[in-house]
């Protein structure tokens, strides 16, 4: 039986990306995941800008498969200020990317911060470098640098003691790098100032988890008509990491969260970006089980792996060598794919900085060779499963 394959894609941050479209073509990807990172959040993505990006991608012999992402402005997440105007702008941006033929859009609803890491170049035993999230370092930042009111209540005594000791013995340069790492936005976009983070924490404290869920549902209901008219699939990215940090609520962190929003806004354009790295950092998350539960609404996939520590710390492992059983995830993805007419796009998410890339300036997690290794491993895994009989089990 000939099986329908997934679509291999690669994230590209535009002309300023240190990994070129020619590099991506050689890596074996067919589709590009990209966005207008130079456009400030809340502003319209113009037809001209979108078309220019599309033509640049197509000249390289590739296809713009997924928009990641059209950022959701903070006023929409908090349903405050000029959120109604921003919703209209968002809907027009959706129409504009649809007119260019891009029909899958990834986004997140994480408060203030996007993905959060405490170290961007943690040296692995083999000499490569990985992204790292260290719970003690986060506590240090929260209590001693951010100085969030009531922060101590979110950590146990042992963590607070370690954080205090580390703070007292840390060099200023290290503390500055830690702060920069936590406040960092998406590559190519601006980081958030410390003062603004403190103000936002107070805003979200008043909204709470339930309020944020309601605001997400409101956002989705507001754009669903446009998505249905344009044939757009919206895919929400899980929280990264998938637990509360810095007093900010998380609402897309586990199986129940994903099922809740799919049922709350039960319309086909409302879908999931299944990120095995984000969900995999949750100690109780069974990823194959989650995928079986929400697979009919998974329209985009990020494949990466993490290894978790006893506390909430984790580091990004090789794609086939973390706590997530990538074999079972891939097998389930291929089963889901067989019921689809269009291939589900996936990309090798993040990757170790290794080999020649150790001497280059690259976006954290997005060097070329580490992702090339990940893509090769994932393609091989998919082919092996496809050619075996287990897909029919």
Give CATH for domain 7-116+206-392: 3.20.20.150
Q: Which of 73, 319, 350, 352 is catalytic?
A: 350
Residue 322 has pLDDT above 70, yes or no: yes
Sequence-ordered list of residues with C-beta below 8 angstroms from that of 109, at least 6 positions apart, any chain: 72, 77, 212, 215, 216, 219, 236, 251, 252
Q: What is the pTM of this model?
A: 0.95
Confidence of residue 184 (pLDDT cuts 50, 70, 90): confident
* Average of per-residue pLDDT across 44-59: 97
Task: Give how far Cα 245 sits from Cα of 14, 117, 230, 379, Å.
Answer: 30, 11, 36, 34
126 catalytic residue (yes or no): no
Residue 390 has pLDDT above 60, yes or no: no
Sequence-ordered list of residues with C-beta below 8 angstroms from that of 52, at least 6 positions apart, any chain: none
- Encode pLDDT of 292-320 as tens digits: 999 999 999 999 999 999 999 999 999 99
- What's the confidence (pLDDT) of residue 192? 85
Confidence of residue 118 (pLDDT cuts 50, 70, 90): very high
Percent of the chain with pLDDT over 90: 91
349 catalytic residue (yes or no): yes
Strands 314-317 and 63-68 come out as unpaired
8 Å CB contact between 11 and 348: no
**Measured between alpha carbons, how far is 349 from 68 in angstroms, rounded to an integer?**
12
Compute the Cα dihedral for 323, 157, 254, 276 and give only its sign.
negative
Q: Which of 37, 122, 302, 319 is catalytic?
A: 302
* Average of per-residue pLDDT across 186-214: 89
Q: Which of 142, 349, 352, 357 is catalytic?
A: 349
Q: Which of 237, 239, 299, 315 is catalytic?
A: 237
- Encode pLDDT of 340-350 as tens digits: 989 999 999 99
The 10 Å Cβ neighbour count of residue 320 is 18
Residue 24 has pLDDT above 90, yes or no: yes
Reduced to 3 states (helix: H, G, I; strand: E, B; else coil), residue 143 is helix
122 catalytic residue (yes or no): no
User: Whole-number mean pLDDT of the chain?
Assistant: 95
Could you give the dihedral angle defined by the CA atoms of residues 279, 274, 305 and 111, in that order, rounded to the nearest 10 degrees?
Answer: -50
- Spell out the domain ranges in the chain: 7-116+206-392
Side-chain-side CA neighbours of residue 240 (13 Å)? 29
Residue 157 has pLDDT above 70, yes or no: yes
Confidence of residue 91 (pLDDT cuts 50, 70, 90): very high
Confidence of residue 277 (pLDDT cuts 50, 70, 90): very high
8 Å CB contact between 121 and 353: yes
- Encode pLDDT of 248-273 as tens digits: 999 999 999 999 999 999 999 999 99
Reduced to 3 states (helix: H, G, I; strand: E, B; else coil), residue 273 is strand
**Measured between alpha carbons, how far is 355 from 225 in angstroms, rounded to an integer?**
48
Q: Which of 142, 275, 299, 315 is catalytic?
A: 275
275 catalytic residue (yes or no): yes
* Average of per-residue pLDDT across 198-210: 96
């Amino acid at each position: 039986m000939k099986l329908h394959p997934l679509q291999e894609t690669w994230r590209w941050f535009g002309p300023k990306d240190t990994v070129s479209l020619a590099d991506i073509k050689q890596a074996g990807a067919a589709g590009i995941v990209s966005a207008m990172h130079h456009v400030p959040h809340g502003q319209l993505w113009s037809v001209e800008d979108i078309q220019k990006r599309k033509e640049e991608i197509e000249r390289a012999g590739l296809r713009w498969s997924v928009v990641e992402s059209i950022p959701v402005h903070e006023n929409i997440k908090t349903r405050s200020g000029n959120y109604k105007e921003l919703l209209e702008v968002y809907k027009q941006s959706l129409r504009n990317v649809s007119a260019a033929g891009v029909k899958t859009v990834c986004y997140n609803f994480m408060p203030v911060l996007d993905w959060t890491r405490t170290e961007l170049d943690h040296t692995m035993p083999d000499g490569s470098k990985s992204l790292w999230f260290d719970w003690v370092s986060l506590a240090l930042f929260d209590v001693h640098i951010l100085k969030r009111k009531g922060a101590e209540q979110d950590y146990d005594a042992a963590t607070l003691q370690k954080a205090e000791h580390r703070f007292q013995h840390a060099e200023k340069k290290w503390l500055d790098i830690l702060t920069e790492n936590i406040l960092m936005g998406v590559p190519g976009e601006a980081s958030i100032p410390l003062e603004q983070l403190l103000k936002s924490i107070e805003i979200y404290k008043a909204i709470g988890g339930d309020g944020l869920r309601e605001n997400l549902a409101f956002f989705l209901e507001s754009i669903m008509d446009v998505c249905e008219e344009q044939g757009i699939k919206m895919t929400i990215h899980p929280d990264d990491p998938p637990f509360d940090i810095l007093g900010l609520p998380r609402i897309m962190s586990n199986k129940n969260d994903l099922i809740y929003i799919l049922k709350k806004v039960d319309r086909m354009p409302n879908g999931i970006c299944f990120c095995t790295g984000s969900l995999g950092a949750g100690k109780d998350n069974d990823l194959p089980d989650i995928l079986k539960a929400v697979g009919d609404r998974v329209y985009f996939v990020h494949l990466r792996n993490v290894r978790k520590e006893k506390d909430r710390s984790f580091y990004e492992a090789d794609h086939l060598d973390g706590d997530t059983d990538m074999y079972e995830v891939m097998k389930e993805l291929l089963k889901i794919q067989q019921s689809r007419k269009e291939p589900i796009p996936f990309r090798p998410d993040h990757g170790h900085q290794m080999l020649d890339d150790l001497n280059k300036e690259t976006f954290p997690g997005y060097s070329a060779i580490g992702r090339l290794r990940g893509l090769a491993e994932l393609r091989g895994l998919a082919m092996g499963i496809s050619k075996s009989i287990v897909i029919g089990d």
